[in-house]
Amino acid sequence: MNPGSNGGWLLLAAALLAQAAPAGAQDVRQLRTTPELTGYVETSRYADVLAFVQRIAEASPLVQLDTMGYTLEGRALPLAVVGRGVEPNPASVRASGKTVVYIQANIHAGEVEGKEVAQLLLREVAAGEHATWLDSLVLLVAPIYNADGNERVSLTNRPLQHGPVGGTGTRANAQGFDLNRDHMKLDAPEAVSLARLFAEYDPQVALDLHTTNGTRHGYHLTYSPPLHPNTDSAIVKLLRGPWLPSVTKQIDAQTGWDMYYYGDVGGQGDRRGWYTFDHRPRFNTNYIGLRNRFAILSEAFSYATFEERIEATHLFVSHVLDWAAGHAAGIRRITAAADAHAAQLAGQQLALRAEFERSRGPVEILLGQMAEERHPYTGATMLRRTDVQRPERMYEYGTFTPTELERAPAAYLVPATARAVLTKLTQHGVRSRVLARDTSLAAERFAIDSTWVSEREYQTHRERTITGRWQPEPVQLKAGEYLLVDMAQPLARLIFYLLEPRSDDGLAAWNALERELQGARQYPVLRVPN
């Protein structure tokens, strides 16, 4: 079918009308996504997604709908709660005792494969497939996170990508923000909504579904665990140990498709290698790792066809969920232990900044070969992967090592007047309390040696860098003057990175303390060492 013709549009309209029949009037297996209805020419619009998930929820008691928040333009962000005997609310999901998995798609609305796969998974569960998942899991499915960007469709939004030729949305949201850089500063309502979801539903596992371009490699899909060196080591060990390698082997045996850790070829000479992305928790999976939860980034390959990208993402997510269902109790034990460990970090050295760490020896990376094709409506070049692979041995820069460390305190003291900081901490789910009486403390105060902001604006901010050192100082605090942020809580790793002045992704870096830092020689947040 060619939706570009009048006959094609009539067929599509007829199919959509047929799907609008009341729930129960047809077999749920007959519901079709927009790519399926258009021969993979188009991706789903916001209204398509809402209508599809609503019909699934009407047809199956296993799928219920909640709203996780709103976009800047007021679009409700749908959240499908999938499980047996649970209601679509945090209390019911947490009381289930099952492992909770959050699946997020479309954070970049030009990378649309995850959005389509989320709908496929809901249809399959409603049709009775994957029954073993629900023995041990509850799924939270957010199919269209960047809903505003999704509606800004253009045929030219993803240059070189192989379809959908009917266009995709934009990388940015309605504010012009890259939502996958907003997880620490929480400037966008979508990011605030996500932080609230994690605080309330508390999923133990998260999948973040993307599409990559960049290096012309030989993989159908690449993936990554959390990359920040402060992530609980047991979480990283399980992901890099049995979990992700097992999924890779199963898919290879099933399809012959190769998948590997995310990377791009970069560097020159002896620094040429396979480089992963950034360690900072502004990125979704790194942020979730600092919350002591398992996080997996999925990146379908941009130059595979649209249909192949959907298939690769579907295979990957399905196998990840198979593994999670079979090891659900172990996943819960590890996250519970990570929470307990985080509450005992006082006195330990943690990373403030980091750099790439080179692998011990070269590894084999599969590079690929692309063929050029023409977009049928714009004439622009599209790249299409071929089955040609060229193995090359190179060093891998897939992990990070600290370049600056700092000892974690027992608590932080935030001035009650620092409203921007206190608001962000609350949005992240951090617990704090007002000092209700006059208090004398052996505290630490940070002496600023130098501070400056970037000349280049990034997402409406000029990132601030601070140098200096903590010094002991006895203080007399008046009642109500400060809020105590105790590190004896599960989010201690995140608190440390948010409040330390030298952190490369903290609230000071994101200008939340600009008023307090003007002309200051001391950082306004105090620490309690013991």
**CATH 3.30.1330.10 corresponds to the domain 28-343:** no
Token output for 509: 């870096």
Q: How far apart are CA 147 and CA 170, in angstroms?
A: 10
DSSP track, 462-503: --EEEEEEEEEEEEEE-TTSEEEEES-STTHHHHHHHH-TT-
b/e map of 188-227 (b: 16 or more CB within 10 Å)? bbbbbbbbbbbbebbbbbbbbbbbbbebbbbbbbbbbbbb
Token output for 83: 């499980």
Q: Can you name the residues that pair with 206 across neighbouring β-strands? A: 102, 295
Neighbour count for residue 388 (Cβ, 10 Å): 11
Are 502 and 474 contacting, i.e. CB atoms less than 8 angstroms apart?
A: no
Q: Coil, helix or strand for 63?
A: strand
Of 178, 115, 177, residue with least CA distance to 143? 115
Token output for 112: 């649309």
Neighbour count for residue 265 (Cβ, 10 Å): 16
In the chain, where the domains are located? 28-343, 409-528
Are 244 and 332 contacting, i.e. CB atoms less than 8 angstroms apart?
A: no
Token output for 508: 């000071």
Under 8 Å CB-to-CB from 332, ≥6 apart: which residues? Answer: 99, 204
Distances (CA, A) of 229 to 130, 295, 305, 425: 35, 14, 35, 22
DSSP track, 421-459: HHHHHHHHT---EE--S-EEEEEEEEEEEEEEE-SS-BT
b/e map of 91-108 (b: 16 or more CB within 10 Å)? ebbbebebbbbbbbbbbb
Neighbour count for residue 401 (Cβ, 10 Å): 12
Under 8 Å CB-to-CB from 280, ≥6 apart: which residues? Answer: 184, 228, 286, 504, 505
Q: What sign has the CA pseudo-torsion 145, 148, 149, 151?
A: positive
Q: How far apart are CA 145 and CA 79, in angstroms?
A: 9
Q: Can you name the residues that pair with 465 across neighbouring β-strands? A: 452
* pLDDT at res. 92: 98
Name the strand (E) or helix (H) holding 527: strand 526-528
Left, alpha or beta for 256 (phi > 0: left; psi -120 to 50: alpha)? left
Phi–psi pair at 118, nearest 5 degrees: -55, -40
* pLDDT at res. 213: 84
Under 8 Å CB-to-CB from 176, ≥6 apart: which residues? Answer: 459
Q: How far apart are CA 214 and CA 103, in angstroms?
A: 24
Q: What angle do CA 92, 132, 43 make, to 5 degrees?
A: 80
Rg of the Cα atoms in the chain:
24
Instruction: Return per-residue pLDDT of the chain as tens, 530 residues.
Output: 333 333 343 344 445 444 554 444 358 999 999 999 999 999 999 999 999 999 999 999 999 999 999 999 999 999 999 999 999 999 999 999 999 999 999 999 999 999 999 999 999 999 999 999 999 999 999 999 999 999 999 999 999 999 999 999 999 999 999 999 999 999 999 999 999 999 999 999 999 999 998 899 999 999 999 999 999 999 999 999 999 999 999 999 999 999 999 999 999 988 999 999 999 999 999 999 999 999 999 999 999 999 999 999 999 999 999 999 999 999 999 999 999 999 999 999 999 999 999 999 999 999 999 999 999 999 999 999 999 999 999 999 999 999 999 999 999 999 999 999 999 999 999 999 999 999 999 999 999 999 999 999 999 999 999 999 999 999 999 999 999 999 999 999 999 999 999 999 999 999 999 999 999 999 999 999 98
Under 8 Å CB-to-CB from 57, ≥6 apart: which residues? Answer: 23, 63, 64, 65, 80
Sheet arrangement for strand 99-105: 63-70, 76-82, 137-142, 99-105, 205-212, 294-301, 221-224, 259-261
Distances (CA, A) of 515 to 59, 420, 425, 452, 498: 54, 10, 18, 14, 17
Of 186, 71, 69, 164, residue with least CA distance to 115? 164
* pLDDT at res. 207: 99
- Long-range pairs, 231-237, Cβ under 8 A, ≥24: 231/286, 231/289, 231/290, 231/493, 232/289, 232/292, 232/334, 232/338, 232/341, 232/342, 232/493, 234/334, 234/337, 234/338, 235/289, 235/292, 235/293, 235/294, 235/334, 235/335, 235/338, 236/289
Neighbour count for residue 364 (Cβ, 10 Å): 11
Are 302 and 213 contacting, i.e. CB atoms less than 8 angstroms apart?
A: yes
